[in-house]
Amino acid sequence: MKKTCIVTGGSSGIGLSIVQLFTNKGYQVFNLDLQPSNLEILRGADISCDISNVEQVQNIISNIAKTATIDVLVSNAGIHFSGNIENTSAADLDKVLSINVKGAYAAIKAVLPDMKANKNGAIILMASDQALIAKQNSFAYNISKVALASIAKTTALDYASFNIRANAVCPGTIETPLYHQAINNYCQRSGANKAEVHAEEAALQPLGRLGQPEEVAELVYFLASDKAKFITGSLQVIDGGYTAQ
């Protein structure tokens, strides 16, 4: 019988690489995203979902649990927002926290009954190097990623007795559509040259390059596997050495 993995925000970037890897490894994967992934391998398991809508998330995951045992949740859905506290409106803050934090809350809360009943489960949250350090013009986004790290730790402690593990992955600068969108937005505001900004970002990493979504997916898969069955409540950094500086 196939194991089941639910991924939120799996239609592009890191999420898409996670969906592809878990599917290739033999998992039945459900992708909860407002945008379809257009992956033939999902065969109808793309589910349109507003991850910030707690009731909608609960209903979708409850329906999945009726026909499958939920083994893994990858809470990956998130948005980026640039701005310091003065440039962040209350609406901006609400939107970032609603998707990045409340979305994780909704998905985790929805999978826990099934995982508790089976006394088994792996929950992986997509945090960021900003769960560990601060960056300029990242007020709301930084808050959300610190919150995800906290959720991983508290969930790990609260559900360890059910053999449910929770960990957060903390990527540094990964070359995804989200990254390119952020660079484009910066260049539009500042008039900077995108190629130069891209090269500067790569040079900031001790390993001299940006990370790739597939590399993050491999770490997520490891954390979901039995090889990581003694790892819980951890923050797993994958940032090319950036936060070690």
Which residues span the domain enclosing 110?
4-173+212-239
The widest CA-to-CA distance across the chain, in whole angstroms, is 55
- Which pLDDT score is estimated for 43? 66
As for how many domains the chain has, the answer is 2
Residues 116 and 70 in one domain: yes
Taking a C-beta distance cutoff of 8 angstroms, is the pair 73, 120 a contact?
no
Per-residue pLDDT of the chain (245 residues; tens, 9 = 90+): 899 999 999 999 999 999 999 999 999 999 999 998 877 777 669 999 999 999 999 999 999 999 999 999 999 999 999 999 999 999 999 999 999 999 999 999 999 999 999 999 999 999 999 999 999 999 999 999 999 999 999 999 999 999 999 999 999 999 998 899 889 988 999 999 999 999 999 999 999 999 999 999 999 999 999 999 999 999 999 999 999 99
Residues 140 and 200 in one domain: no
For the whole model, what pTM was predicted?
A: 0.95
Residues 129 and 195 in one domain: no
Residues 126 and 199 in one domain: no
Q: What angle do CA 209, 201, 191 make, to 5 degrees?
A: 145
SS3 79: coil
Q: What's the count of helices (H) and strands (E) in the chain, helices before strands?
A: 8, 7
Task: State residue 241 phi and psi, 5-degree precision.
Answer: 95, 5
Residues 203 and 135 in one domain: no
Report the alpha-carbon distance of residue 46 to residue 48 in Å, rounded: 7
- Which amino acid is located at 113 in the chain? P
Residues 116 and 200 in one domain: no
- Domain membership flag for residue 120: yes
- Which pLDDT score is estimated for 141? 97
Residues 54 and 35 in one domain: yes
Residues 108 and 197 in one domain: no
Q: Which residues are catalytic?
A: 141
Residues 103 and 189 in one domain: no
Residues 194 and 220 in one domain: no
